[in-house]
Chains A and B, each alone.
Chain A
Amino acid sequence: MIAYAGKRLLALIPILAVVGVTVFLVIHITPGDPAAIMLGPDATPDQVAALRQTMGLNQPLWAQFLDWAGRVLRGDLGYSVFLHQGVSAAIGSHLGPTLALAIFAEVLAVAVAVPAGITAARHRGTAVDQSFMGVALLGVSVPSFLLGLFLVLVFAVLLGWLPSGGYRDPADGLGAFLRFLVLPAVALAAMQAALIARMSRSSMLDVLGSNYIKTAKAKGVSEFLTVYKHAVKNAALPIMTVVGQSFGALMTGAVVIETVFNIPGMGQLVINSIQRRDFVVIQGVVLTIALIYVLINLVVDLLYGVLDPRLRAERSGVT
């Protein structure tokens, strides 16, 4: 297991290097002088020169990268001249709503999709299966921000049951917190729920067709036990992968959903920064979310190793 974990961790190094270089380059693929763009057309040459100096833009590219990477590794994501605040601090103060939204959406998605997928697999080919999978196909085709707008139209504008946007801190009362979060969470969860349901169904179908399930059935194990005790265990691995990946997707989806519902999270931070061309903040947010994404995938990989002994035993990995 330690060898397996070590191999996974080593595989992370080139990924993190590419992620780092890409994020670093964001500021440098800008056509023109980033400092001049950030300050706008009214800036004097002196101001531009001063900002270039503070951003370190006068150094050669490799020196800038090493400098930047060194600071990032120490947890310093830079200083935003627009926010008058360190980027790490800005991200810290915006992370809460995004995480709350993503976690709420993940719980919703898993709670609906896994049972739905398993049910569809058990009743394969019937009306139940077809209607579940039809809804899932629809779910994959509706972008989450669009579903969010439709939900606002129905539940806020037409029925007036729920607020059309905004965010309440859980400290202000759980009821208000949930009331403000339920529409964005449902909008965000739908597409991932559709993906998880499709994956649960196909992975259950694979397992249900295998010989040991036939054996279990033949020796008279009840349908319920066959499905929920024997089959689910083996079907869980691919489902877990999708669930893990979906959390990363939910974090990014939240970026767009926050614009729909005016939630003061990382999404709003990055979108406002785009309009201001505040590259330091954009780099920080993109790097943070990409890191969360990579770490979740690592955790899923490691869990895989815990749950599936065959993976641990494998000496030479397939590329």
Chain B
Amino acid sequence: MTSTVTKTSETPAQLIRQALRHERRNLLFRRISRNQLLVSGGVIFAFMLLAAVLVPIFLGQNPLSVDPANRLQAPGGIHILGTDTFGRDLLSRILAGGRSSLLIGCLVAVFSSVLGLVLGLYSAFYRRTGAVLMRIVDGLMAFPAILLAIAIMAALGAKTSNVIIALIVVFTPHVARVVRAAALVVKTQTYVEALNALGAGPTRILWLNVVPNLMSPLVVQATFIFADSLIVEAALSFVGAGVPAPAPSWGNILYEGKTVIYNGWWMTVFPGLAIMLTVLSINLLGDGLRDLLDPRQVVAR
């Protein structure tokens, strides 16, 4: 009885709207599933993420417990990927390092996106502030990324929270520049003019009407910053200016691996593969997202 009531209560217009919505969702799903870059990147990334979060539970190994009697054991046995120079389980160290790398990358991507969005947005709409901000952005971008990060880490001291701060300082200018370029285009659109004429306040126009149009370049940029910050973090930890020992990170495992490269290839190969796969998957994801969010580029290229 109730089902017939709901059925009859729908007007033809509603039915059509529903069908359209369904169709659109189908189209989105098809575009996502057809997008090989996005799917393969997403699958690899999800795999790495799940491995980093779930596997340690089943592994039951402490990444920090030292066992000098079993140092530099080759892969196999209880230690699936072998042990390091202190006899610590390599697999659990790689996974723990992955958790901290992914957390650092994620926080850096989020915070530098938000900061870059605010800076880029306001510098596009307010000429004078914009000119000053963009000169600062130019200046900061004159430093190569790793070098600026090294300088900041040298000043602040090797600590995980400082790595995040340093990377945010390094990457925010990149976001600000991309957002500003996109916002300058949006600014000239008729609807912004119309909103102005209707008396909408600047905050309303910027945050309710302009920002949604900046989301696709922002999201694409954020994924690339995620990948870049993984690389820079690994490099920082590798040279001893990142995540400090004994906490594991892909970079400092590789540094320890370098000192024993003639006796323990596994300490270089496995964390190296972890970095490569993760960065590759995020880059694929970023390329795929760009194709999905900005279909014009696909046609153009």
Contacts and interface: CB of A to CB of B under 8 A. Distances in A.
Physical interaction between A and B: yes
Interface of A: 14-19, 21-23, 26-27, 29-31, 137-138, 140-143, 145-146, 149-150, 152-153, 157, 164, 202, 205, 248-249, 251-253, 255-256, 259-260, 267, 270-271, 273-275, 277, 279, 282-283, 286, 289-290, 293-294, 297, 319
B243 interface: no
B301 A293 contact: no
B297 to A, nearest CB: 11
Contacts of B276: 141-142, 146
15 contacts: A14-B138, A15-B142, A18-B136, A26-B154, A149-B258, A153-B269, A164-B262, A252-B145, A259-B239, A270-B154, A271-B241, A274-B239, A279-B155, A282-B151, A286-B147
Nearest to B241: A274
Contacts of B147: 252, 255, 286, 289-290
A271 B144 contact: no
Contacts of B142: 15, 18-19, 290, 293-294, 297
Given A14-B139, A164-B261, A255-B150, A289 B144 contact: yes
B29 to A, nearest CB: 26
Nearest to A13: B135
Contact of A31 (B150, B157, B268, B272): B157
A150 B272 contact: yes
Contact of B151 (A26, A146, A205, A294): A26
Contact of B261 (A27, A142, A153): A153
Contacts of A152: 261
A293 B239 contact: no
B139 A15 contact: yes
A54 to B, nearest CB: 19
A182 to B, nearest CB: 18
Given A22-B139, A270-B150, A277-B154, A256 B261 contact: no
Contacts, number: 143
Interface in B127-185: 131, 134-136, 138-140, 142-148, 150-157
Contacts of A271: 239-241
B40 to A, nearest CB: 11
A137 B283 contact: yes
B63 interface: no
Contact of B156 (A16, A29, A275): A29
Nearest to B227: A141
B265 interface: yes
A23 B139 CA distance: 11
B280 A138 contact: yes
Nearest to B169: A22
Interface stretch (B54-62, B100-108, B230-238): B230-238
A212 to B, nearest CB: 19
Given A149-B268, A289-B144, 17 more contacts: A17-B139, A19-B142, A21-B139, A22-B139, A22-B140, A29-B152, A30-B156, A137-B283, A143-B279, A145-B238, A153-B268, A153-B269, A157-B262, A252-B146, A259-B238, A271-B241, A283-B151
Contacts of B238: 145, 256, 259
Nearest to A202: B301
B261 A274 contact: no
A31 B144 contact: no
A157 to B, nearest CB: 6
Contacts of B227: 141
B257 interface: yes
B268 to A, nearest CB: 5
Contacts of B157: 30-31
B173 to A, nearest CB: 10
A289 B142 CA distance: 10
A149 B143 contact: no
Nearest to B141: A15
Nearest to A245: B144
A249 B262 CA distance: 30
Given A14-B135, A18-B139, A29 B155 contact: yes
Contacts of A253: 146
B254 interface: yes
Nearest to A267: B239
Interface string B269-285: 10010011001100110
A143 B254 CA distance: 12
A248 B301 CA distance: 28
Contact of A149 (B135, B146, B257): B257
Contacts of A256: 146, 235, 238-239
